[in-house]
């Protein structure tokens, strides 16, 4: 209210506008409180741009396993990144055009035909995105250039960065960087409504880490956190950009697959279950009960599924059955479309 005399303004408004005016005033105070803790002012009192906390990487010539391994190594050096592999020429062009990558990482042999094609695309597009060769290079050789790249991305303007930080707080799981439960349910409900309107299929898979408590008890909570981060990185690197990956809480994750029917969802989910289970076992020391992965799958359209909440509930029931029947398996929901 300072400097604006809002009390005086309210007295001049017609009686029927007093109530909406108070509502707007209250909302503005709440909005100001939200930003008050972001500390955007430096010692000079001027608004400063705030640092980006995460670097966005695209991998050329590598797959989900290589991406997840790279992220794990960079995390040990104190550098937080997200990484996904480029799958084809159009994927790279779209990423460059939309500005969704801060840097490109070469994870494959430069003499490989697909990698050569990617490098040609970069040259033809005159892309300004830096490219780093990680093939055979020690991780320490990448850390400093990547840190410098992250530092350059900080100069994007204070207002843009404020919204990025608000979005990160509201939508992202702080530990793994994937969507949180609230964001997943919100965006998935929107996708479900589109699927109903336009008549296309979608599927949701729930992943639960078997014997996760054993990891925490035997190796400590730091190892448990690393397991969750490695799992999320691998899952996020393995799916399409249009799919949604989220941590629902604890050791439970979700994947929403848009425009995916039962056969396609089953093949993808089974492959993911097997490969991510193998990967997380590789990165942890041997355990008496090595961690595994139980998965459920529910597909729309399905009987008695009219809302996204119904689809998620069907997947949750199927996940309980997968755990009950011995863990380390995929269990489709009983009321899903034929798979």
> What is the SS3 string spanning the chain?
CCCCCHHHHHHHCCHHHHHHHHHHHHHHHHHHHHHHCCCCECCCCCECCCCCCCEEEEEECCCHHHHHHHHHHHHHCCCCEEEEECCCHHHHHHHHHHCCCCEEEECCCCCCHHHHHHHHHHHHHCCCCCEEECCCCCHHHHHHHHHHHHHHHCCCCHHHHHHHHHHHHHHECCCCCCECHHHHHHHHHHHHHHHHHHCCCEEEEEEEEECHHHHHHHHCHHHHHHHHHHHHHHHHHHCCCCCEEEEEECCEEEEEEECCCHHHHHHHHHHHHHHHHHHHHHHCCCCCCCCEEEEEEEEECCCCCCCHHHHHHHHHHHHHHHHHCCCCCEEECCCCCCC
Catalytic residues: 251
């Amino acid at each position: 209210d300072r400097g604006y005399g809002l009390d005086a303004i309210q007295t001049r408004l017609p009686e029927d506008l007093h109530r909406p005016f108070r509502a707007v005033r209250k909302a503005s105070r709440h909005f100001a409180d939200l930003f008050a803790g972001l500390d955007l002012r430096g010692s000079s009192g001027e608004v400063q741009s705030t640092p980006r906390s995460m670097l966005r990487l695209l991998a050329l010539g590598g797959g989900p396993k290589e991406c997840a391994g790279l992220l794990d190594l960079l995390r040990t050096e104190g550098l937080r990144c997200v990484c996904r592999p480029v799958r084809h020429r159009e994927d790279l062009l779209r990423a460059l055009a939309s500005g969704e990558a801060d840097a490109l990482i070469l994870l494959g042999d430069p003499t490989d035909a697909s990698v050569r094609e990617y490098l040609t695309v970069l040259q033809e597009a005159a892309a300004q995105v830096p490219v780093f060769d990680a093939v055979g290079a020690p991780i320490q050789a990448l850390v400093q250039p990547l840190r410098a790249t992250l530092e350059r991305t900080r100069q994007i303007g204070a207002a843009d960065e404020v919204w990025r930080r608000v979005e990160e707080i509201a939508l992202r799981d702080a530990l793994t960087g994937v969507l949180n439960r609230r964001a997943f349910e919100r965006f998935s409900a929107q996708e479900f409504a589109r699927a109903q309107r336009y008549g296309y299929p979608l599927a949701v898979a729930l992943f639960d880490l078997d014997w996760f408590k054993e990891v925490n008890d035997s190796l400590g909570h730091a190892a448990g956190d690393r397991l969750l981060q490695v799992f999320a990185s691998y899952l996020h690197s393995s799916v399409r950009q249009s799919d949604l990956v989220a941590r629902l809480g604890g050791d439970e994750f979700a994947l929403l697959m848009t425009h995916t029917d039962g056969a396609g969802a089953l093949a993808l989910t089974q492959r993911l279950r097997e490969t991510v289970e193998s990967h997380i076992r590789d990165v942890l020391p041997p355990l008496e009960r090595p961690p595994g992965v139980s998965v459920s799958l529910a597909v729309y359209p399905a009987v008695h599924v009219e809302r996204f909440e119904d689809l998620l509930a069907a997947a949750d029931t199927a996940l309980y059955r997968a755990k009950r029947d011995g863990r380390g398996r995929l269990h489709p929901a009983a009321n899903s479309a034929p798979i």
